[in-house]
Amino acid sequence: MQNNANAARHYVEAIYAQDACAQNMGMQIEHIDIGFARLSMKIVPNMLNGHQSCHGGILFSLADTAFAYACNSDGKAAVASSGSIDFIRPALVGDQLIATASVRHQGKNTGLYDVEIINQNGKVVAFFRGYSYRLSHPISDNTLKKNQPNRQGEQS
């Protein structure tokens, strides 16, 4: 099982290296396994909405990223086909959030994943459910580099 976890971590780290959004938001990979991802992120002042709680889009981004890493962890490239979130309680500046994504069903082409976001006190902040669709290629270092924008900003 350890080899699977190591392979999963390699795939996800390759994606994270290209994931400017996750990096700029301060998301950190805590644990990866096949069909599983746990990420953390600290809420900072520029993530707050007009009510001085974390903007829902920020929470969605954290959950969506954990979902993406879980559904790509087996090395088969996948994208989201849909996702929804239920907000349970606000996250506030200084909160340390943990998003845990787990596969519920993975078929040949489509998958179903659930994500729970909790705060540093173990209180649920949000629940996310995402559906994935597998692409026709595996994840590889070459695949990721090929999808990098060229100097004109176009995909190569």
pLDDT one-digit tens code per residue, 48-107: 999 999 999 999 999 999 999 999 999 999 999 999 999 999 999 999 999 999 999 999
pLDDT, position 3: 78
- What gap in Å lies between CA 17 and CA 69, rounded to an integer? 12
**Whether 86 contacts 127, CB under 8 Å:** yes
Q: Which residues lie across from 96 on neighbouring strands?
A: 42
Q: Which H/E stretch holds residue 129?
A: strand 124-138
First CA to last CA across the chain, in angstroms? 36
User: pLDDT value at position 140?
Assistant: 73
Torsion angle of C-alpha atoms 43, 49, 53, 56, degrees rounded to 10: -80
| Degrees, nearest 5: CA angle 15-30-23 | 45
Count Cβ atoms below 10 Å from residue 30 Cβ, excluding itself.
13
What six digits make up the tokens of 104?
Answer: 């519920």
- d(CA 103, CA 111) in angstroms, rounded, equals 7
**Is 0.95 surpassed by the pTM of this model?**
no
Alpha-carbon gap, residue 33 to 1, rounded angstroms? 9
Taking only the tens place, the pLDDT of each residue in 28-52 is: 999 999 999 999 999 999 999 999 9
CA dihedral 55, 59, 65, 71 (to 10 degrees): -140
How far is C-alpha 60 from the chain's CA centre? 9
